């Protein structure tokens, strides 16, 4: 009995090896910003946690989207080849040549020189297709209409703003054009720096993965704004650590402006103002912050202990009195 079962497994794996049953992603964009050097991927799908499969990017190297019946190894393998200086289109051709399932794959690649490669396999479920533009590619499968790639391309080319904003606009245009025939479930946005540090955690400018949501693109847009706020806040922390208070204040102020709902961001603006001798400007901010979150009042003596605020009893008491 065991022998029959094992024989069945072997035969089944042979017969159905290149007959996958379900597509993993729907529409995406890979892009390179020639002004900043940033590279990015954005994707939306009726599939759980699409961001864990489709988007791949490395600063100074390239960006990849692997979808339809996705083969995730295209991500790390493609980036490794691009890092050797092989153009994105040649990398894609070489990987497809070794893939027995190439007719169910859909892939977009762009490298740090703006070279682009894209592929839509013959067995990708219609409507499926891709469109290559200057330094970018859009790709889609199981669309309600065949016009989705063109809509994405037009939105990307005609939207102002940074790379993340332009890629998100492309996704929104796809949805407005009818989007995924099956509906919507998850989305992801990944952007890496144009000035690589060698440390991946420093090079990720935007990294958002919405695993499951009734309106993933709306949530992606909301989180992109918050992500930008915290990017500025992180920069503020770095400047404060270096005692570069003017620059820290600029970053904290930008963060608070982007995400005013969170009182912790203006809190650090106020701390920086107090630290640079502008207590009068800081006090009303502290007052507003403490009204929204009383726990931040308790944080004051703790940051004094850690050296992030002057150990001046008079100043500390004025702050706590707000």
- pTM to 2 decimal places: 0.88
**Mean pLDDT throughout 37-43?**
98
- Is 141's pLDDT higher than 90? yes
**Mean pLDDT throughout 137-148?**
97
Mean per-residue pLDDT over the chain, rounded: 92
In sequence order, what are the beta bridge partners of 188? Answer: 43, 209
Summarised one tens digit per residue, pLDDT across range 276-321 is 999 999 999 999 999 999 999 999 999 999 999 999 999 999 999 9
In sequence order, what are the beta bridge partners of 41? Answer: 30, 190
CB atoms within 10 A of CB 9: 10
Domains of the chain: residue spans and CATH: 27-214 (3.60.20.10), 235-320 (1.25.40.10)
Query: pLDDT category, 124, cuts 50, 70, 90?
Result: very high
Q: What are the angstrom distances between the C-alpha of 145 and each of 65, 127, 139, 160, 175?
A: 21, 6, 13, 26, 10
Summarised one tens digit per residue, pLDDT across range 224-233 is 999 999 999 9
Q: Tell me the three-class secondary structure of 257-289, residue by residue.
A: HHCCCCCHHHHHHHHHHHHCCCHHHHHHHHHHH
């Amino acid at each position: 009995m065991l022998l029959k079962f094992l024989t069945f497994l072997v035969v089944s794996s042979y017969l159905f090896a290149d007959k996958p049953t379900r597509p993993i992603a729907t529409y995406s964009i890979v892009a390179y910003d020639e002004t900043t050097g940033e590279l990015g991927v954005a994707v939306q799908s009726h599939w759980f946690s699409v961001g864990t499969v489709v988007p791949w990017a490395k600063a100074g190297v390239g960006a990849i989207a692997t979808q339809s019946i996705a083969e995730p190894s295209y991500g790390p393998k493609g980036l490794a080849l691009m890092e050797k200086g092989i153009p994105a289109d040649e990398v894609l051709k070489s990987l497809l040549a070794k893939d027995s399932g190439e007719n169910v794959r859909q892939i977009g690649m762009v490298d740090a020189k703006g070279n682009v490669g894209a592929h839509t396999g013959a067995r990708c479920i219609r409507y499926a297709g891709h469109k290559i533009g200057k330094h970018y590619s859009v790709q889609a499968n199981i669309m309600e209409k065949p016009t989705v790639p063109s809509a994405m391309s037009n939105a990307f080319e005609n939207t102002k703003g940074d790379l993340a904003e332009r890629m998100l606009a492309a996704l929104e245009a796809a949805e407005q054009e009818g989007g995924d025939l099956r509906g919507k479930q998850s989305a992801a946005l990944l952007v890496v720096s144009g000035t690589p540090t060698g440390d991946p955690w420093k090079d990720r400018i935007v990294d958002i993965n919405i695993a499951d949501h009734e309106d993933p693109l709306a949530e992606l847009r909301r989180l992109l704004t918050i992500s930008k706020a915290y990017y500025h806040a992180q920069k503020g922390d770095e400047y404060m650590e270096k005692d570069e208070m003017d620059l820290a204040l600029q970053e904290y102020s930008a963060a608070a402006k982007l995400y005013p709902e969170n009182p912790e961001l203006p809190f650090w603006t106020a701390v920086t103002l107090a630290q640079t001798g502008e207590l009068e400007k800081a006090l009303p901010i502290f007052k507003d912050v403490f009204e929204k979150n009383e726990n931040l009042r308790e944080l004051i003596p703790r940051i004094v202990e850690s050296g992030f605020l002057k150990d001046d009893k008079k100043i500390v008491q004025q702050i706590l009195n707000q």
